[in-house]
Amino acid sequence: MNCGQPAPEPLPSVDGAAAAVAAAVPVFSCDDALIQWRQWGQGVFEDAARRQVPVLLYLAAPGSDGLFAAGEPAVRSLVEERFAAVQVNPYRRPDLVARYDPGGWPALLVLQTDGRVAAQAVDIPPRNVRMFLLRMVAHHRDRREVVMSKVEKAAGTAHLLAGYEIGAGDVYAAAEAAFDSVYGGFGQGVKFAEPLVLRFLLQYYRESGDPRARSMVRRSIQPFLSAPMQDEAAGGVWSYTHTPDWRTPRFVKSAAVQAGLLQLFLELQLLLDTDGGKGGAEYARAARRLLEFVNRELFDEDRGVFLARRVPIRCGSGELTGWTDPAAYADVNGLLVVAMIRAAAQLGDEEAARRATAAADFLLDELMTADGEVYHCLHEGRRYAPGILVNQMLVATALRAQYQLDDDERYLAGSEQALAWAESRLYDRDSGLFAAAPPTAIDGLVWPLQVRHRDTSLPSGNALAADLYLMKGNRQRAGQLLERLRLPTPPGRRHASYASSLLRYGEG
């Protein structure tokens, strides 16, 4: 993405309570684009082997601060001459993010020619990039045997003994321990919306009656009902804040967060109306406001598809404008099809139902092959990253929900095909669980099959699979997935979707 392509619509001015957060607005970096980056693929590793240089994988997304923003020709020369360098947009290649798990971005990963990580640096100051790269060049030239020994040792300890089960009570205890009783939310410092955790706590309250769980949900959701976390001028909510008091939001709107909060607002409305008559009116209003934003800003009428991310950028003259990622993503559309169907039923919004149907058609026609393989995204006619478990399960779930809405057999067939593809290509009989993605197609890479259980902004793939089987009425298959899971470390908040699946399984 270059800075000559801002979105035409200006963002609202920053004033009032939000004036203090102007410094948090990300500046879109053009200097990254001056480097001659390679395309990810087998050619990068062949070039590295031929030139006897390491691979430099740079994970960076449009709308995020770049690591090469200093405009130093010496740094660009270093990258191009001493590495086989490739830049990857992590939003379009979540399979690479899952494989290397850098913990955030922008990130620099130095890889061996077999694909293993020798070193990495996440979100370092641009002024330190040159020193990091020079150190990596020196290690590769002078201490290659030591580096390879460390890589081998790390690979040998990568698979720890998985001895911990996930229990709903364990995840609840982890959330309670991290809960901020002063400001709501979880942890200190940077705070995220975490709708998956809040929806789990609400479900835990419904099952256990524990008032503490309900209190944590209502206290944590309050910041998203007003400014500054709610954009009262343009609609929608910001995804996270730099400070515990929620007063310094990062001006990024993620469709996954909007979808999760929309579902949460609807669940709160239903719960409170059931418990106390009309106590859910506040959350119904919040759901309608969020729905209006999604309909207006995140739905592409021409293509009939939901868009994933809206960020502010400063470009050219320095004017602040909004940029919406033009790519169409399977995961976001799967989430929003389900959320819009629920909103249409609960709020009586016919436009939400129409847009859900359009997005379901897009998934079938544009992001799914005839045999059920789902591509992660489509941009400018090119499809990226096929066969990722989360996409397979979200699309299968969305199509099944659409079938339940209008009884069109096309959606049922598509749902069954997406699930069948995952069962035939991703199911790992040794673990009894689904792998996160297919094996790599790049020859020579050391890329073991991965079974992952942590949530990101999306539910974990095996939790989605268990929920889909429950949706189909196949409790036996859902139970097999839920009962086989073991972790190398104690469960925490990032296992909330799995804990939610366990609660749903127990309801039967």
d(CA 496, CA 209): 18
Task: Tell me what percent of the residues of the chain surpass a pLDDT of 90.
Answer: 63
Q: What is the pLDDT of residue 453?
A: 82
Domain boundaries, given as residue ranges, for the chain: 35-156, 168-507
- The topology under which CATH files domain 168-507 is Glycosyltransferase (1.50.10)
Give the helix ranges, DSSP H, for 298-329: none
Q: How confident is the model at residue 69 (pLDDT cuts 50, 70, 90)?
A: low
Q: What is the pLDDT of residue 161?
A: 56
- Does the structure show a pLDDT above 50 at 43? yes
* φ, ψ of residue 457 in degrees (nearest 5): -80, -5
3-state secondary structure of 74: helix
Query: What is the CB neighbour count within 10 angstroms for residue 491?
Result: 23
Give the pLDDT confidence of 160-169 residue by residue, as tens digits. 456 788 899 9
| Nearby residues of 420 by Cβ (< 8 Å), 6 or more positions away | 372
- Does the structure show a pLDDT above 50 at 15? no
Q: What is the pLDDT of residue 73?
A: 82
Q: What is the pLDDT of residue 348?
A: 93
* Residue 292 region by backbone torsions, left for phi larger than 0, else alpha for psi between -120 and 50, else beta: alpha
Where is average pLDDT lowest: 226-235, 322-331, 357-366, 434-443?
A: 434-443
- Do 360 and 337 meet the contact criterion of CB atoms below 8 Å apart? yes
Average pLDDT over residues 420-438: 92
Q: How confident is the model at residue 234 (pLDDT cuts 50, 70, 90)?
A: confident
Residues in the chain: 508
Helix (H) / strand (E) containing 241 = strand 240-241
d(CA 50, CA 44): 10
- Check whether the bond before 490 is cis (ω within 30° of 0): no
**Which residue(s) pair with 120 in the sheet?**
109
Q: What is the pLDDT of residue 257?
A: 97
Helix %, strand %, coil % of the chain (to 5): 50, 15, 35
d(CA 437, CA 392): 10
- Does the structure show a pLDDT above 70 at 196? yes
Of the candidates 84, 83, 91, which has an alpha carbon nearest to the alpha carbon of residue 64?
91
Q: What angle do CA 307, 312, 317 make, to 5 degrees?
A: 130
- Does the structure show a pLDDT above 80 at 211? yes
CA torsion through residues 239, 244, 245, 249, sign: negative
- Residue located via tokens 């020079």: 134
Average pLDDT over residues 114-135: 89
Average pLDDT over residues 392-412: 97
More confident of the two residues 359 and 6: 359
- Residue located via tokens 């099944």: 400
Q: How confident is the model at residue 441 (pLDDT cuts 50, 70, 90)?
A: low
Q: How confident is the model at residue 14 (pLDDT cuts 50, 70, 90)?
A: very low
- Do 252 and 21 meet the contact criterion of CB atoms below 8 Å apart? no
Question: Cα–chain-centroid distance for residue 220?
Answer: 21
Q: What is the pLDDT of residue 148?
A: 59
- Does the structure show a pLDDT above 50 at 13? no
Of the candidates 347, 446, 336, 472, which has an alpha carbon nearest to the alpha carbon of residue 394?
336
More confident of the two residues 155 and 354: 354
Average pLDDT over residues 1-18: 34
- Greatest CA separation for the chain: 73
Question: Cα–chain-centroid distance for residue 62?
Answer: 15
Average pLDDT over residues 401-408: 96
Please state the three-class secondary structure of 31-71 as a single string. HHHHCCCECCCHHHHHHHHHHCCCEEEEECCCCCCCCCCCC
More confident of the two residues 69 and 261: 261
Q: What is the pLDDT of residue 63?
A: 65
**Which residue(s) pair with 310 in the sheet?**
253, 324
Average pLDDT over residues 321-337: 92
DSSP string covering 321-389? EEEE---EEHHHHHHHHHHHHHHHHHH--HHHHHHHHHHHHHHHHHSB-TTS-BEEEEETTEEEEET-H
Q: How confident is the model at residue 319 (pLDDT cuts 50, 70, 90)?
A: low
Task: Tell me what percent of the residues of the chain surpass a pLDDT of 70.
Answer: 85
Give the pLDDT confidence of 335-393 residue by residue, as tens digits. 999 999 999 999 999 999 999 999 999 999 999 999 999 999 999 999 999 999 999 99
Please state the three-class secondary structure of 352-368 as a single string. HHHHHHHHHHHHHHHCE
Q: What is the pLDDT of residue 316?
A: 53
Q: What is the pLDDT of residue 277?
A: 60
Average pLDDT over residues 448-464: 87
Average pLDDT over residues 7-34: 43
pLDDT, mean over the chain: 86
| CATH code matching the domain that covers 35-156, chosen among 3.40.30.10, 3.40.50.300, 1.10.3720.10, 2.40.50.140 | 3.40.30.10
3-state secondary structure of 191: strand
- Does the structure show a pLDDT above 90 at 143? no
Q: What is the pLDDT of residue 318?
A: 58
